[in-house]
Structure 1
């Protein structure tokens, strides 16, 4: 059954109630399709809340979805200043929470998707598969398990809870799991609620995206007030030019300013930078952080290293969680883990956020018709996702599910040109260990360093900042 011949969907399940998931529900409603949004967290936008203290480098105009705005404006909601830069908390409080309130009848919080399949058949069965409803198995904290049926499923659950390992070759470093108590997320609130954990301590930041940059800048600010605070920044690349970004050439000035500030901190030795660093092993104290620091063993091209650190900030990015989709017929690129048609547009070996074209339902389709990955999860391991891109994805998907394939195929995207969005495939590092590429969860300031799919490549790849 082709996309153009299938009957319009009446129901759809949306996995995840973040910005793109809520936007999906708004677009589905406009198309007359009943959405059910399933969110594992106790609140909507759990990932954004975790970095609510961070100010975004993209202004409001790139963070608002058109269908969501239309829904909100019916209630008398007024848009924030489109040129202002919101924090994550402001994105939630001024936009996502009012939107979730309007969509509350369709949102199930505290509900974890355990599996997705086709009703009455497993992945291997083909006869009678087309047009068969989807079955989504959902569990709640009290142990209840429910199966929900729908004509379509859009997985917008993101990758926030699936961090990349800090070890080499895409694998966990020995001791990484056992030393989890020493590891902070990519954007800890260093100057706020997490201050005690970092003040007067030695922190190792691993990664080279904007999460790493933000954490390094906040740690440096903390060190001015707490002089015993020390900072080490470890990257696997031989160059950190991408972390410093486009400076004045960046069309998003707030983003360019981050790199300029970090460069000065490194040049003044306020931040110790170790290039071409590979984490070999992490050994924590027997009693955990309260008993003493962890020892991080690693190496560079020139030497072996042994670092005693109190906290490790893992800013190495994310990868998609695909286990609960085992019974869905997916077509994913073997390297990027994105839909095959999309992967060639976003492969970080060749593309940056400035060179990814607009795309929609056609590029996101899978062999199981009516199932889609959207938002940052659709990009797999590629670090070039833009929040505005996710909104256009789900607009196109909703149009296709409603039977309006012409509208689904008319994809458009207007994004700022930026000096940071450049592709530098070789940066004076022939023969170096593969570096962590600069990643982007655009719209978000939570840009992550994602380990490049080509782990054995001889040089790092440039990407968006």
Structure 2
């Protein structure tokens, strides 16, 4: 059994990290603007045809992609921005997770929607009632249904696509051209009439990956039907998959935010509509981790602890000895994996327990964290401003600047390639002194408001400029990224 660590960011080599100081106007990309149509592109181009030009290409239209486009419109308002997504429906939140209770309070979503003048103008122009007025009616300090956040993202998306060139499709691969130092991006439009795929090529000096994450899974020692995490997190879909008339046993693996919400959904079904439903819960600890605020106002376990509805359910139904006396005891049986400091031994012990107790289960649900969604291929030919990059698959994400290194040994940032969102989050210091991925809509926005203007300058200048005053601090942070604690099953 492999260590269940988060795969949302790559380690960065020890030592100083390329940083920046303002070296030119971010508006210098304006010179790249080209007239374009705001309509969705539908022309059939051969993939080998001359690339069309753009100033920036943003891949993905979830919370991070929306924030990137909004910040670009404020930094380079006249640039030609190409925005690529399969559906422009708010990312995985809008497509898969509308039924979930949120991790963040409602006020965070309102802050996100009002963080940029571009966003405020879109919201003000939307007829009321709308997604923003619905959020304002909620308790700002309480969590809410992600349906509210999804509606807000859709409202902002509809406003933004009027100012950019949206393409409904998928990026298949990108190539860095040494000259004229631009990225050539190949797109495949969503399937249309006809057997042949419709391919387009665009060329731009700057590309931003906002490609999102998917649930992580592992190989199991027993062959059991799997229920996907998005299905298990949506009560309406889960109730359709599990028959109420037949006794069923469902295994749940994990102890983070998603795992607790899955257990809550299954418990409610067993108590109300599925009397024959039984749950086997596999966890590494009987005492769960919570996000808690100290007397000084410092939040402990802010990025990894349970909060909101998940925390309330866990404390009353699952936590420690509470499971022995709560209503959940009638339906939930807890299996705590044996602990070991040796990872190989721990993995073996966990597999042995799963092999023994997964027998007889009808379904298994893995809620063990998230990993990056499949990324567009980066092909040979990639080169930074100075010298070629040997093997594109060795690109390493820099969680301090949102840029990429060519490999673990070269700290000259690849020019014009950036990442953001759950797949490429900022690494921030926690109160415990470790760096952890900063994953939430508001944290994405905070990071991008700082970094997008710097990305534009770095792309125009050809490099992130070193600020020697920050080298020692960032070098220390980088070492902690490599040698710090590993992640757990707690979700982000």
Structure 1 position 245 matched with structure 2 position 290: yes
Structure 1 residues 273 and 174, CA, compared in 2 at 3 Å: closer, same or farther? closer
Quick one: distance in 2 between partners of 1:114 and 1:310? 37
Structure 1 position 104 matched with structure 2 position 156: no
Structure 1 position 204 matched with structure 2 position 251: yes
2:369 to 304, 317, 337: 317
Structure 1 position 257 matched with structure 2 position 312: yes
Per-residue CA shift, 1:290-313, capped at 9, x if unaligned?
A: xxxxxxx94239x94342222221
Per-residue CA shift, 1:343-376, capped at 9, x if unaligned?
A: xxxxxxxxxxxxxxxx555799973212111111
Quick one: distance in 1 between partners of 2:276 and 2:360? 15
Quick one: distance in 2 between partners of 1:87 and 1:133? 42
Quick one: distance in 2 between partners of 1:206 and 1:385? 22
Aligned to 2:277: 229
1:50-449 paired onto structure 2 within 5 Å: 50-63=96-109, 64-65=112-113, 66-67=115-116, 69-75=119-125, 78=132, 80-81=135-136, 82-93=140-151, 95-105=152-162, 106=164, 108=166, 110-119=168-177, 128=178, 132-140=181-189, 141-142=191-192, 143-160=197-214, 163-167=215-219, 173=220, 182-186=226-230, 188-189=232-233, 191-198=235-242, 199=244, 200-225=247-272, 226-235=274-283, 237=284, 239-241=285-287, 243-246=288-291, 253-254=308-309, 256-263=311-318, 266-268=323-325, 269=329, 270-276=331-337, 298-300=351-353, 304-320=356-372, 321-322=374-375, 324-327=377-380, 328=382, 341-342=398-399, 360-361=401-402, 367-379=413-425, 385-403=439-457, 436-440=488-492
Unmatched 5+ stretches in structure 2: 1-17, 33-54, 340-349, 385-393, 406-410, 428-435, 468-483
Partners of 1:19 and 1:45 within 8 A in 2: yes
Structure 1 residues 366 and 29, CA, compared in 2 at 3 Å: closer, same or farther? farther
Partners of 1:12 and 1:153 within 8 A in 2: yes
SS in 1 for 2:213: coil
Structure 1 residues 99 and 398, CA, compared in 2 at 3 Å: closer, same or farther? same
SS in 2 for 1:307: coil
Aligned to 1:418: none
**Higher helix fraction: Structure 1 or Structure 2?**
2
- CA RMSD, aligned part only? 4.1
Quick one: distance in 2 between partners of 1:204 and 1:157? 30
Unmatched 5+ stretches in structure 1: 120-127, 168-172, 279-296, 331-336, 343-358, 410-424, 427-433, 441-465
Higher relative contact order (CA 8 A, sep 6+): 2
Structure 1 position 35 matched with structure 2 position 81: yes
* Count of matched residue positions in the alignment of Structure 1 and Structure 2: 356
Aligned to 2:69: 25
Quick one: distance in 2 between partners of 1:267 and 1:186? 29
Partners of 1:39 and 1:109 within 8 A in 2: yes
Structure 1 residues 318 and 361, CA, compared in 2 at 3 Å: closer, same or farther? closer
Partners of 2:97 and 2:234 within 8 A in 1: no
Structure showing greater Rg: 2
Quick one: distance in 1 between partners of 2:61 and 2:88? 10
SS in 1 for 2:144: coil
Shift of 1:152: 0.7
Per-residue CA shift, 1:34-75, capped at 9, x if unaligned?
A: 322211246342444311111113112223251253232441
Shift of 1:190: 5.0
Structure 1 residues 435 and 196, CA, compared in 2 at 3 Å: closer, same or farther? same
SS in 2 for 1:51: coil
- TM-score for the superposition, normalised by structure 1: 0.65
Shift of 1:27: 0.9
Partners of 1:329 and 1:366 within 8 A in 2: no
Shift of 1:254: 4.3
Per-residue CA shift, 1:66-119, capped at 9, x if unaligned?
A: 1253232441575522445331221112x1111111112336354111111224
Quick one: distance in 1 between partners of 2:80 and 2:370? 31
Quick one: distance in 2 between partners of 1:257 and 1:189? 17
Quick one: distance in 1 between partners of 2:268 and 2:107? 29
